[in-house]
Structure 1
């Protein structure tokens, strides 16, 4: 079975409070985009070497392969179901640590693929429970549709926001921003205006109201980020923002954008939104 774990963007991101467990409460709109990895899961056929295997190609994945989220997702389900050994191969295309939820998507799509491959009949709600234990963003990718998100980013509320037919341009400068650095510049605060109401405004007005709290400090530390954002607006974007805690910056357009040679030394992806 082959699936394509896709990225997401944050439209607005407010850090509203520190939690007793050390995490932060946030509010954001998560929106799926088409930039995707490719994930293949196959039942083992060699009876002499029946062990779970994980391999990857494409972008290099840091850390020990044994701790990859795809393997963690398999082991999580194997605790509750009699899963046979599988071979997992991940073609990594979505940049890592880029504010796009790529690793979280890989984990969630592993859960969904195993559920389908072995007819486990796990409900959407229970798939989300498994996903939540793997990471804050993971549960979003089970339903994989636009959602207003709150809590750690793992609680959801339906949103009517749809950007079907709009184009998105994603620019990743290859800059690694650690979670520690991102949060070190944050003072949690409850915003004066409700994000859900702001997103009902015409997209052309978002520029003045819909903010990512991480931008203020990270733009000061990394001058390439505001430069990219300004260039995206110069190309005619209706709205531009950093996604998550960086370092990808995106723009939403009402036409297909032409990035030309504006973003040298960056990875660029564009596509239509659903």
Structure 2
């Protein structure tokens, strides 16, 4: 069974407070975009896992797709499978690619072996794999709170807008990103911000990580400025970086030029 785990962008990201467990409570809008990996899972004589596409650092045995399989296998005694992951979404970009792979592995296994898990059950398994994994179970716009794993409906439809995402090849660790942030409760909730016209977002919607990361990595600030100069109605870094995106009212300009080593995605929202 083949499926295509997709990325997400953060529309705003406010770090609200540090939790007793060492994590942070946040508030953000997660919005799916169709920059996709490919994940195939087939019944097999023994468990195997292969990868292609962008190189994934670390031991393949720690890949979240395998962790998803092992999580369900404990309860449902799943038969062996062959998994192949073709990696297209860059890592360390704030796009949630690894989380999407994990959630889609749960979804595929649920269908493949007719486990009949509900959306809520799949989300609970996904939360065991990572903070934003659960988002990709339903894969629709939400306001994410707490660790990014508790969701409220986002009454937002950006159909007809286009998006450009640029990844400059900087791998920013979560620890590095959070080290520069001072948590602060927002004066304007994400729900209130999303009700405003998108043309006003530039002044009222913020990613808290930009304040410390832009001076450290000026190419990120330049990317955001370039996207606004090209006509974006809103531009921002996504997640804890380092991908930067711009939202355009119509098709993205064809003459956007970035260094050859940058990865670029364009498409409709």
Q: Same fold (TM over 0.5)?
A: yes
- In the TM superposition, what is the alpha-carbon distance from 1:259 to its structure 2 partner? 5.0
Match of 1:205 in 2: 200
Provide the rounded CA distance (Å) in 2 between the counterparts of 1:261 and 1:240.
14
Q: Could you list the per-position Cα deviations for residues 106-130 of structure 1 after superposition, in whole angstroms to 9, with x for gaps in the alignment?
A: 0000000000011100010000000
Count of residue pairs brought into register by the alignment: 268
Point out where structure 1 has 5 or more consecutive residues left out of the alignment.
45-49
Say whether residues 1:146 and 2:149 are aligned partners: no
- In the TM superposition, what is the alpha-carbon distance from 1:262 to its structure 2 partner? 2.2
In the alignment, is the contact (CA less than 8 A) between 2:64 and 2:99 conserved in 1?
Answer: yes
In the alignment, is the contact (CA less than 8 A) between 1:168 and 1:253 conserved in 2?
Answer: yes
Aligned-residue CA RMSD (Å)? 0.8
Provide the rounded CA distance (Å) in 1 between the counterparts of 2:146 and 2:235.
24
Give SS of 2:76's match.
coil
Match of 2:214 in 1: 219
Provide the rounded CA distance (Å) in 1 between the counterparts of 2:196 and 2:162.
18
Say whether residues 1:108 and 2:120 are aligned partners: no
Say whether residues 1:155 and 2:150 are aligned partners: yes
Q: Could you list the per-position Cα deviations for residues 143-167 of structure 1 after superposition, in whole angstroms to 9, with x for gaps in the alignment?
A: 0000000010000001111101110
- In the TM superposition, what is the alpha-carbon distance from 1:82 to its structure 2 partner? 2.2
Match of 2:31 in 1: 31
Give SS of 2:30's match.
strand
In the alignment, is the contact (CA less than 8 A) between 1:231 and 1:262 conserved in 2?
Answer: no
Q: TM-score, normalised by structure 1?
A: 0.97
- Runs of at least 4 residues of structure 1 off by over 6 A? none
Q: TM-score, normalised by structure 2?
A: 0.98
